[in-house]
Amino acid sequence: MNESWIAPSILSADFARLGEEVVNVLNAGADIVHFDVMDNHYVPNLTIGPLVCEALRKYGVTAPIDVHLMVKPVDRIIPDFAKAGATYITFHPEASEHVDRTLQLIKDSGCKTGLVFNPATPLNYLDHVMEKLDMILLMSVNPGFGGQSFIPYVLDKLRETKRRIEASGRNIRLEIDGGVKVDNIREIAAAGADTFVAGSAIFGAGKESDPNRYDSIVRAL
Which residues bind to Zn ion, rule: CB under 5 A? 36, 68, 177
Annotated binding site for a divalent metal cation: 34, 36, 68, 177
Is 36 a known active-site residue? yes
Q: Annotated binding site for substrate: which residue ranges? A: 9, 68, 144-147, 177-179, 199-200
Q: Which of 28, 200, 213, 220 binds ligand DX5 (CB under 6 A)?
A: 200
Nearer to ligand DX5, 12 or 87 (CB): 12
* Of 8-16, 79-87, 96-104, 126-134: span binding ligand DX5 (CB under 6 A): 8-16
- Interaction mask 69-108, ligand DX5, x per CB under 6 A: ----------------------------------------
Annotated binding residues? 9, 34, 36, 68, 144-147, 177-179, 199-200
The sign of the dihedral angle between the CA atoms of 47, 53, 55, 59 is: positive
Phi, psi of 55 (to 5 degrees): -65, -35
Does residue 8 bind ligand DX5 (CB under 6 A)? no
**Which of these ranges, 72-80, 122-130, 145-153, 185-193, lies near ligand DX5 under the rule CB under 6 A?**
145-153
Out of 148, 151, 182, 207, the only residue in the binding site for ligand DX5 (CB under 6 A) is: 148
For the CB of residue 108, give the shortest distance to ligand DX5 in the complex, in Å. Answer: 25
- The full DSSP string for the chain is -PPPEEEEBGGGS-GGGHHHHHHHHHHTT--SEEEEEEBSSSSS-B---HHHHHHHHHHT--S-EEEEEE-SS-GGGHHHHHHHT-SEEEE-GGG-S-HHHHHHHHHHTT-EEEEEE-TTS-GGGGTTTGGG-SEEEEESS-TT-SSPPP-TTHHHHHHHHHHHHHHHTS--EEEEESS--TTTHHHHHHTT--EEEESHHHH-TT-TT-TTTTTHHHHH-
Q: Which residues are catalytic?
A: 36, 177
State the residues that interact with ligand DX5 by CB under 6 A: 9, 11-12, 34, 36, 68, 141, 143-148, 177-180, 197-201
